[in-house]
């Protein structure tokens, strides 16, 4: 069997990689379209694993998203989540300041952990807002 020349091998790899590169350049879905696509992917996964209960629940969720989701309502929901998360961070910051005034190291560490958790939730909400 004759080996392929390096040029032929390179050309073959380029031709096979073209569809993959084109798929990567496709615009990312946002809003309700992204939400629908995520649910569809989960349905396919549940179907492939034979999880009919999960599949049925996801199909119901897909119907709800199809019937009721609008990009404006989704954006408003995500904005409210960001506001709630900001409020939570402010509250945790105040709790930490109180603990620092009292000087209890155990409470200070506990409040720092809670504040870090709230900040992570805020960042997650902000990230979700852009989707």
Burial of residue 34 (CB within 10 Å: 0-12, 13-18, 19+) is middle
* Percent of the chain's residues with pLDDT above 90: 66
Q: Tokens in use for 12?
A: 């073959």
pLDDT in tens, 64-123: 999 999 989 989 999 999 999 999 999 999 999 999 999 999 999 999 999 999 999 999
Q: How confident is the model at residue 31 (pLDDT cuts 50, 70, 90)?
A: confident
Q: How confident is the model at residue 22 (pLDDT cuts 50, 70, 90)?
A: very low
Do 92 and 110 touch, CB atoms closer than 8 A?
A: no
**7/51: higher pLDDT:** 51
Among the listed residues 62, 66, 68, 78, the one whose alpha carbon sits nearest the alpha carbon of residue 131: 78
Residues 44-60 have a mean pLDDT of: 94
pLDDT in tens, 93-105: 999 999 999 999 9
Separation CA 85–CA 119 (nearest Å): 8
**41/6: higher pLDDT:** 41
CA distances from 58 to 16, 30, 47, 52, 112 (A): 34, 19, 10, 10, 38
Residues 27-52 have a mean pLDDT of: 90
Q: How confident is the model at residue 14 (pLDDT cuts 50, 70, 90)?
A: low
Do 74 and 31 touch, CB atoms closer than 8 A?
A: yes
Report field, pTM of the whole predicted structure over 0.75 = no
């Amino acid at each position: 069997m004759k080996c392929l020349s390096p040029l032929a091998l390179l050309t073959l790899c380029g031709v096979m990689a073209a569809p993959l590169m084109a798929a990567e350049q496709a615009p990312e879905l946002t809003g309700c379209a992204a939400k629908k696509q995520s649910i569809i992917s989960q349905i396919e996964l549940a179907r492939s694993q034979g999880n009919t209960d999960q599949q049925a629940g996801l199909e119901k969720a897909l119907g709800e998203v199809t019937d009721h989701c609008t990009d404006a309502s989704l954006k408003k929901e995500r904005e409210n989540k960001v506001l709630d998360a900001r409020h939570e961070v402010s509250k945790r910051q105040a709790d930490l300041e109180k603990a620092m005034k009292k000087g209890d190291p155990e409470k200070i560490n506990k409040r720092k952990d809670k504040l870090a958790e709230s900040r992570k939730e805020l960042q997650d909400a902000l990230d979700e807002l852009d989707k």
